[in-house]
Every structure is written in C-alpha cells, then in structure tokens.
Amino acid sequence: MLIVLSPAKTLDFATNVSPPLTSTPELLSEAALLAAELKKVSANRLGSLMKISDKLATLNHQRYQDWDAASLQQPGDPEAKPAVLAFQGDVYQGLEAGKWTEKQMLYAQDHLRILSGLYGILRPLDRMLPYRLEMGTKLKNRRGADLYAFWGTELTAVVNRATESIGSNVLLNLASQEYFRSLQPAGLSSKVISPTFKDLKNGKYKLISFYAKVARGMMADWVVRNRVKSLRKLTQFSEAGYRYDPESSTEQVPVFLRDQPV
C-alpha cells in the first residue's frame, strides 16, 4: 500500500543526518513557480496570508528570498535536508523516521508520500529547503485562487503512478482533510483507506487532535517497519494501546480505539 501524510509546520534543519541517499522532488519545476510568486510577497502580506506572527512572517519571507530550485537538483547542499527527517511535529513524533534502518528508509521511499503546499508531493528522501505554505492558503496564482487550483489533478496523477509502480491498489490516507483535499477522489486508481483514531474521554470515545496526529504517524511507521500490504493486516495495528474496533469500522474507515494514552 501507498501511504500519504501531511507535512508539518515545525522543521528541523539543525540536526545533521546521514541518509543512504537523497532524491530530487518530482514536481520541483512546479514548486519553483510558486516560490517565484512568494518571493514577490512582502513580509506583512505573508503574515496576513498565512495568519502568522510578524516574527514568523519575516522568517518565511527570507526563506523565500533564499529559495533556489537549482540547489535541490544536486545532492550535497548543506541547506537542504530529506523531507521525512526535516518535518517535525505531532505526526512525525509518531513516525520516528530517524530510527529507521537503511532498508526501512528505502522501503518508505517507495511506499510513503508527503503532500505539500509548496512541493506538491514529496518522497521521504526528497531534498527540501525550509518553508511554510499550508495547502489551505488562499494564494492567488496563475491557475486560480488557491493552491488546490494550482495543483489541480497533478498530485492525483503522481499518486496513481506511485501506486502503480509498487503494484498496489490501496492508498492509506493518514493525511489531514486539508491536505487530502488536494487529491481528486474520482481520479484515484486505488481504494482509499482512511483510519480514524479515538481516545476515551469523559466516558466516550472521541477524536482528540493531538493524539490522532501522533497515531497517524505511528501507523505509518508500523506499516513501513512491517511492510503491511493488506487491510486485514492493517487491522492488527495495536501500537500505544490502540485496538481495532470492528463494530464502528467500515472497510474504508477502520476505527481504532484507546482507553488510556500510553
């Protein structure tokens, strides 16, 4: 199965890593078009557009001034880092890609994709520069009023090629709604499985955002480590106290419950 994840706002470009190899983002030329547009946007306008503080707006304004597609086309650029090791945040706490073996990292390179507002879609070892651009940002561009219009059907086509290349007909959606919306469901060639994670609170099982994000990362990590290929195997996921609940599940939306955070 092919896994899709959301990126993270928090980045780590300070920690040195030694991956087995790195790769160039497939849609780098498209990312360059967006970066060129963002270079023209002032720090004040960027802050308003992204709804971030002046400090973060200034930081990201400078990131776009420094952004250079050419530096991502060759390995060795000290400013670039493999995507799966650059993203931090709740999902990536659960993923713990820094602990993968070389074989696990290479397996993930084929079986995991990260949706991105700027890069469109990233493989784990794709080189990236620091940025901030959420998929829901209403950035007017040459193709429409927002990033969904900019990416159109391109990301769906990339996902279809990826599932075909690994001989799979299952897409494991562990991304947020904001990011999964960038794919076109009618155009996907695979069966979409979108797990839900709920924790017990005040006597009821509820989706709690922080725990659900970490759980998505844990499931992605578990699938990579165990090379999970089927829905039947997926229901055996039991990390951190979660258990599959057949009564509230459907084939497309398997539900995992937990009584107490671990």
Q: What is the pLDDT of residues 32-51, one digit of tens each?
A: 999 999 999 999 999 999 99
Asked whether the predicted pLDDT for residue 20 surpasses 80, the reply is no
Residue 199 lies in a domain: yes
What percent of the chain stands above pLDDT 90?
Answer: 90
- Residue 154 CB burial class (10 angstroms; 0-12, 13-18, ≥19): middle
Residue 103 lies in a domain: yes
What percent of the chain stands above pLDDT 70?
Answer: 100
Residue 195 lies in a domain: yes
What was the pLDDT predicted at 166?
A: 97
Asked whether the predicted pLDDT for residue 76 surpasses 80, the reply is no
Write out the residue range of the structural domain in which residue 196 sits: 2-23+81-258
What was the pLDDT predicted at 163?
A: 97
What was the pLDDT predicted at 22?
A: 93
Q: What is the largest CA-CA distance in the chain?
A: 55
Residue 168 lies in a domain: yes
Q: What is the mean pLDDT of residues 4-26?
A: 91
Q: What is the mean pLDDT of residues 180-201?
A: 96
Report residue 16's pLDDT band, with 50, 70 and 90 as the boundaries. Answer: confident
Report residue 74's pLDDT band, with 50, 70 and 90 as the boundaries. Answer: confident
Q: What is the mean pLDDT of residues 22-35?
A: 96
Q: Which residue has the tokens 């070389």?
A: 102
Rounded CA gap, 189 and 158, in Å? Answer: 11
Asked whether the predicted pLDDT for residue 59 surpasses 90, the reply is yes
Residue 64 lies in a domain: no
Residue 30 lies in a domain: no
What was the pLDDT predicted at 75?
A: 83
| CA distances for 155 relative to 30, 118, 179, 198, angstroms | 11, 12, 11, 29
Report residue 258's pLDDT band, with 50, 70 and 90 as the boundaries. Answer: very high
Rounded CA gap, 95 and 91, in Å? Answer: 6
Question: Is residue 81 within 8 Å of residue 14, measured between CB atoms?
Answer: no
Residue 69 lies in a domain: no
Residue 253 lies in a domain: yes
Number of domains in the chain: 1
Question: Is residue 84 within 8 Å of residue 12, measured between CB atoms?
Answer: no
- Per the prediction, the chain carries an average pLDDT of 95
